[in-house]
Amino acid sequence: MDKPAGLKASEHGKVANLLPPTYKRMVSGWLEEDCPSFDYGGFVVGEDDKEARLLGKSAGMLAGVPFFDEVFRQLDCTVEWHVAEGDTFEPVKHCATVRGPVRNLLLGERVALNALARCSGIATKSSRLLSLLRAAGYPNTLAGTRKTTPGFRLAEKYAMLVAGADPHRHDLSAMTMLKDNHIWACGGSITGAVHAAQAAGGFAVKVEVECGTEEEAAEAVRARADVVMLDNFAAGEVHGVAARLKEMGRAEGRRGGFLIEVSGGLEEGNVAAFAGPDVDVVSTSSIHQGVKHVDFSLKIVH
């Protein structure tokens, strides 16, 4: 279970290369949603070739470039970037230049800006929390959650990766997470639930258990869960519990060990207090739920 601390996808390659081909179909769906019938405004402006400037109007980290690019690629426009994805900027910043038929520039404008603003907001927030953890001396993983926007999960998880955060599991098939409802629904036995999950998923699918008490966490360790989540623990107790669980795992000869994840109510004001040597993962939906978007505009050059 061990891996080097603080791994960032962007340090090993281009994050955009992780995207599946289906993201292009997703972008097509966005365009169809915004223009399901006649484009009356586009009719007014015609098809002369024009140039538009993408302006960053609030400070932030740029993320969502592949989605912005794909919107305009599907509309026969080109994009020239002046800021690299993952870089931060101060307003007002000329981030990119988009060229193509003016009707198409305006057709893609709002869809492209919405995606870029949302992704950049998530990356900015993720980077901020990651910086707080690093300043506190925490070298391990900051992760998001599955509390994402329906239909936009891929883009939101992508933005976390750009910022250096871990996107956590992508869907129900990526990892088995046994939450309180799963345990209660199968009779209250963490051990039984873990063994059933292991039998179904085999060696390739990790099993995580959400635990609300130290006793539940100890049962998850004994059941050989791969990840033990300490959910909604107070900062003052989480480190002692994590240390005892790790010692218990060593005493029981857990080959390869297990990860301890801390989650529940973590945000900028308190996240550093939960960072400790026995905590492998700090996860929070605050890096992608309700984040402030980065403000962009696209202006035709005239």
**Residues that are catalytic:** 147
Question: Long-range contacts for 31-35 (Cβ within 8 Å, ≥24 apart)?
Answer: 31/71, 31/74, 31/75, 31/107, 31/108, 31/111, 34/107, 34/110, 34/111, 35/107
Q: How many helices (H) and strands (E) are present in the chain, helices listed first?
A: 9, 12
DSSP string, 131-183: HHHHHTT--SEEE--S---TT-HHHHHHHHHHHT-B----STTT-EEE-HHHH
Show the tokens assigned to 158: 């992508």
What is the 8-class DSSP label of residue 229?
Answer: E
Give the number of other Cβ atoms within 10 Å of residue 3's Cβ. 10
Q: What burial letters (b/e) apply to 75-97, b meaning 16+ CB within 10 Å? A: bebebebebebbeebeeebebbe
Q: Which residues pair with 281 in a beta bridge?
A: 141, 261
Q: Which residue has the tokens 């309180």?
A: 180
